[in-house]
Amino acid sequence: MPRYINPYTDFGFKKLFGEEANKDLLIDFLNQLLPVYHQIAALEFRNSEIWGELFHERKAIFDIHCESKTGEKFIVEMQKAKVNFFKDRSLFYATIPIREQAKKGEWDFRLTPVYMIAILDFQYDENEERQKFLRSVNLKDQDGDVFFDKLTFKFIQMPLFVKEENELKSQFDKWIYFLKKLEGFNEIPAILNEPIFEKAFSVAELAKMTPMQYEQYQESLLTYIEVKEVVKTAELDGVRKVAKELKRDGLATEKIIKYTGLSKSEIDEL
């Protein structure tokens, strides 16, 4: 039985980063992603109930109003992204904190900077040569020059992080390693034996949950597993369809295995 929560579940994600008592965890994590001039000194959660059916989905999206160490205000929308149309979702959700800045009466339209940070437990870069573990996106012109610097997207493709404990160099590396490996840890690894991660492990420990929290977590975990299985099945069906077409075209079985990853027996059954 696992000792720690799965941080990709809605419950686990909120437990670690979405509770008032754990603001220090969130601040430390976000400060590894934000520029020097937007290092967070204080933050406030402002999740609002919006648009009926969207509210349920936004329970795992945090609307975080921040103040930098120099007093500048900015907003971070942090989400555990879903696999389907995640770029569209991210752009759509980024417009919410932008539109909420509108003021009644006379207003000069000056906007507070917004960061959209998405943690992806799936891989969306299909072309290997273009894969990026961390993708930072701004609105740019045809020459690649930044046109608008107050909206920044940061997409973290967790499957592309392959560093092991002895390869971790930065605090950001440590956080990603913690999130990716958390559910499989039985004890705190030496590299993470420092106060901020000791607290994170304590927060994530299943044995410290109340019976109601544990029940909620199990429901969240079941939902997460079901969604992953649906996605996996859809992907496999797509691969099988391609393999079947290649087989029909007379391509050698060895090459179909190489291109699709299916076994010989799976291909023979097509």
Helices (H) and strands (E) in the chain, counts: 9, 6
Distance CA 153, CA 185 (A): 30
Region 187-209: mean pLDDT is: 96
Token pair belonging to 11: 């419950």
| In the predicted structure, residue 66 carries a pLDDT above the cut 90 | yes
Which of 75-79, 180-184, 228-232 is modeled with the greatest confidence? 180-184
Confidence of residue 52 (pLDDT cuts 50, 70, 90): very low
Distance CA 37, CA 68 (A): 7
Token pair belonging to 223: 């939902």
Distance CA 9, CA 216 (A): 11
pLDDT at 55: 47
Show me where the domains of the chain are located. 10-208, 209-270
Mean pLDDT of the chain: 86
Which among 184, 119, 183 is positioned nearest to 153, based on CA atoms? 119
Q: Tell whether pTM > 0.85.
A: no
